[in-house]
Amino acid sequence: AAAACAEASSAVEAGSPDFMQQRVAIWVLLAGSLLRAAKAHCIERWIAAGMPSLSASEVQWNAQQHAAPSSSPFRWRSWPVPSYAAAAVAAPGPLAAAAVRWSYDGAEVGEACRGGDLGCAGEGHCYAPALDRALASWIPRPLAAPRVLELGVCAGHSLAAWQQYMRGRFGGSRILGVDLNLSTYWRHVAALAARGFEARDADVVEADLGSVGTGGALDSALAALAPFDLIVDDASHADAQVASVFERLFFDQSLGLAPGGVYVVLDTQPSFREGGSGLAFFKGLADAAQWEGTTIVSAARLELYVAHTGSKEEAWVDSVEFHRGFVVVRKRASHGR
């Protein structure tokens, strides 16, 4: 554990641009309790080195796990970190319950990619409670099983979580998963199926998201199931690709989102590294959807306005919601409804 800490810390101090990848690679070589032991060795040194990727909630989680003294930098200089413990122990919503069932530890699975991390336990991002609230009033198109597109599959745990959520709320679903490399998924799908994952109701395609809209195999797979009621982007987290894929899949229902659908972009934290901000794109999207200063005084006038506007953002973006670590964009239902 100490050796792994020293190796990772050296990468931090050397300013390695691939540090995040190195950190994951180190962690997945460790097993179970050793993972936590290595973190206990590393965390104070990482904070002292100014590692930018440590979130306040991760610091708090580690402090709770390892009972660091209040005088330690482990406690983030005694700054009162908001607690997510209440969300972790509260009666779970349907997605939070699914996230608990289908969570996994990256070290246990032994893969560099992550997935199954919607929940609050262990090293989860604790997105599920907020997503439960965000989706509570969402109702997909009637008379059909909801269609879900997940970008970024990893080992398939998140596909299983969304499948359980859709089955519990709506009786079933059709799911398509897209990943640049499906080798991890194929190694784990049998184990997932043994635990109740219905692989026959979840298609997967191996493709580079940069090829969307080019008429290739990815477009064929998307068109076969589109339009989707829910799209979840948990793939590259690269600002430019997140924005370009959103532009294609949110507005083009022949490949992407149905009217009235919901588009979720997970893990917005990486976009802030090295001065970037993927949220700038979504903040601009929120601005573009504000009717250019036009005052709408009735539903009828709203329908008339969006029917004639030349802006696809004004016509189709119903709302942009910013949550801790993810963004939810809702698409307007078909005009006239």
DSSP string, 225-286: HPSEEEEEE-S---HHHHHHHHHHHHH-TTTSEEEEEEEEEE--GGGGGGG--THHHHHHHH
pLDDT of 76: 38
Residues 120 and 158 in one domain: yes
pLDDT of 113: 62
Q: Is residue 76 part of a domain?
A: yes
Residues 249 and 138 in one domain: yes
Question: CA triplet 265, 270, 251: central angle to 5 degrees?
Answer: 25
132 CB-near residues (< 8 Å, 6+ apart) = 92, 93, 94, 95, 96
Q: Is residue 88 part of a domain?
A: no
Q: Is residue 95 part of a domain?
A: no
Residues 66 and 111 in one domain: no
Q: What mean pLDDT do residues 24-40 have?
A: 51
The predicted-structure confidence for 67-119, as pLDDT tens digits, reads as follows 544 444 444 333 444 455 555 455 678 999 998 888 876 555 555 565 567 88
Q: Which CATH number fits the domain that encloses residue 153?
A: 3.40.50.150
Number of domains in the chain: 2
State yes or no: pLDDT of 229 exceeds 90.
yes
Q: Is residue 94 part of a domain?
A: no
Q: Is residue 207 part of a domain?
A: yes
Q: Is residue 320 part of a domain?
A: yes
Facing residues of 205 across strands?
178
Residues 47 and 129 in one domain: no
pLDDT of 28: 42
Residues 216 and 139 in one domain: yes
- Among 83, 114, 148, give the residue marking a domain's end: 83
Residues 49 and 107 in one domain: no
Backbone φ and ψ for 77, nearest 5 degrees, come out as: 55, 35
Q: Which tokens go with 61?
A: 């989680």
Confidence of residue 135 (pLDDT cuts 50, 70, 90): very high
Q: Is the peptide bond before 94 cis (omega within 30 degrees of 0)?
A: no
**Amino acid identity at 278:** G
Q: Between 196 and 276, name the one with better pLDDT.
A: 196
The predicted-structure confidence for 150-194, as pLDDT tens digits, reads as follows 999 988 999 999 999 999 999 999 999 999 999 889 988 998 999
Q: Residue 175 sits in which domain range?
A: 102-331
